[in-house]
Structure 1
Amino acid sequence: MNEPRLLLVDDEPLVLEELSEGLAALGLPCRTAGSAAEALELVQRFPSLDVVVTDVQMPQIDGIELLQKLAVRRRARPLAAIVISGRAALDRAVAALRLHAVDFLQKPLTPEEVALAVRRAFSIIEDAAPGAAPVQSRPKYLEALVAARADRQALFKGDLFSDPAWDMLLDLALSEATGRQISVTSLCIAAGVPTTTAMRRLEDLQTANLVERTPDANDRRRILVQLTEEGRRKMDAFLERQASRMGVRLG
């Protein structure tokens, strides 16, 4: 019998049991750890481990600190990391990106969701050339950037950093990365500013040839917004630069 290549870490016994049993049924047997300290011991004992799925919120040593310790102990053959959390926080997301996390999952989740992320992680490990930077899912990377808006608003309040045009570009880039269409109304609401202000900034973006509006083929009363080729090229260039600074490649 082959040694498990997957390590699942969570301080909630029921979650650990449910996910490990579900993953085993899906052909992904795993070792389990109820704490970061136990996870470190298992990684030391079983060098066959290639992927770690860890909760962020854990007592004593949290998931981010665990990844930091693993990065030091497994420099020669780093583990691919998948982070799970009950809440998307900017500092946690950025910290995990810097530690080469390849995916983020939000609780509550199913074994099927975890299995999909784990198989992607195994694929990255098998496809990556020696010395290549880890690959980060483009939609997940964009979600982390979009989450910054909510965190910024929660921490600082007010309109100190109001920038609806940039928020719109991020929302449009994320919608394209996830295969979703977005309407003018939805885009303006998501910008978090008065509709008249959002519409003015949308006009500015259109004048700058960064976005375009088209009628919805299924509902002519609904107007869709998308990035132009120029807007898509510039957003791609921005994302690649930010990812490069964090030492990851976007997939």
Structure 2
Amino acid sequence: MDQVAAQEPRVLLVDDDPDVLVELSEGLAALGLPVRTADTAVVALDLVQRHEDLQVIVTDLQMPRIDGIELLQKLSMRKRSRPLAAIVVTGHASLDRAVGALRLKAVDFLQKPVLPEEVAHAVHRAFSILEDEVASSGEEGTGETLATARPNYLRALVAARADRDAIFQAGLFSDPAWDMLLDLAMAEATNRPISVTSLCIASGAPTTTALRRIDDLKDAGLIDRVPDPLDRRRVIVRLTAEGRGRMEAFVQRQAARLGLSLE
């Protein structure tokens, strides 16, 4: 029984294109990552409900009836005995939709056409993030710890940005530099590496503008770019010691004004 349980697929692949499902599922299986597959979000929701072994969902965004964004929204409202990490895959026509997916705590973003090897790298990163979260939750202490307080506060700041965009005219606050720093602080607080591509998409700015702001932030000594140790084709963006210190000062000052303690 234990051997059977150990072989249960931990990855759910969701795409309405049968060719994509076959190509990626067979490719991932050959790489030692057996998967369950779903050709609709409805099927995916049922599989997640019935299989607690699932830990990572890899979903396309453009799907009929219930798209990938709504699927992640529905999953975020469900309680499970173990967390479920999300990886989103989309084509050029729906890059803007990826912003919503990243706001729903997606741990990675992949752009079509995508190879099984790329998906496998993203899945292994997701497993590592989940392991870190489990280790953090097992630490001694009661109530909201520092490990959860800071990410939750940063999530509130990110949510405030979404509220701002919903209430005010879209594009009114167009410079992405601050949004990038906030995304990087959130990524660091949740042990989630963020790539140049993901950072550009999450900023909501045109790619050329976002890349210029990344260069500006690097020249200011606030961020750095390093190769992903798991995938040399991917470049990770992270805060420098200077950038981390300044963001920490900002977070602490804002929390103090609200009477919150993140110490």
For normalisation by structure 1, the TM-score amounts to 0.61
How big is the shift at 1:76?
5.0
Deviation at 1:143, TM superposition (A): 3.0
Cα distance, 1:92 vs. partner? 2.4
- Asked whether the equivalents of residues 57 and 63 of structure 1 are also in contact (C-alpha less than 8 Å), the reply is yes
Q: Let me know the Cα RMSD of the aligned residues.
A: 3.7
Q: Paired residues, what number?
A: 184
2:39 alignment partner, one of 26, 34, 40: 34
Bigger Cα Rg = 1
Are 1:7 and 1:30, in contact at CA under 8 Å, matched by a contact in 2?
A: yes
Q: 1:165 to 1:112 in 2, by over 3 A?
A: closer
Shift in alpha-carbon separation, 1:164–1:144, aligned structure 2, 3 A: closer
Question: Mean alpha-carbon deviation: is it higher for 66-75 or for 44-53?
Answer: 66-75
Give structure 2 stretches of 5+ with no counterpart. Answer: 138-146, 152-189, 229-238, 255-263
Identity in percent: 52
Which digits, 9 at most, give the CA deviation of each residue in 1:160-192, with x for residues without a partner? xx8997464257689942449xxxxxxxxxxxx
2:224–2:240 contact (8 Å) kept in structure 1: no
Asked if the contact 2:59/2:87 (under 8 Å) is kept, the reply is: yes
Structure 1 partner of 2:122: 117
Alignment of 1:65-84 (within 5 A): 65-74=70-79, 77-84=82-89
Aligned twin of 1:177:
225
The CA distance in 2 between the partners of 1:241 and 1:75, in whole Å, is: 34
| Contact 1:139/1:174 (8 A) holds in 2 | no
Q: Deviations over 1:110-139 (max 9, x none)?
A: 000000000111111112222755433232
| Structure 2 residue 66 is matched with structure 1 residue 61 | yes
Paired residue type of 1:53: V
TM-score, structure 2 normalization: 0.59
Deviation at 1:77, TM superposition (A): 3.0
Separation (CA, whole Å) in 1 of partners of 2:212 and 2:119: 35
What are the equivalent positions in structure 2 for 1:130-141 lying under 5 Å apart? Answer: 130=137, 132=148, 134-140=190-196, 141=198
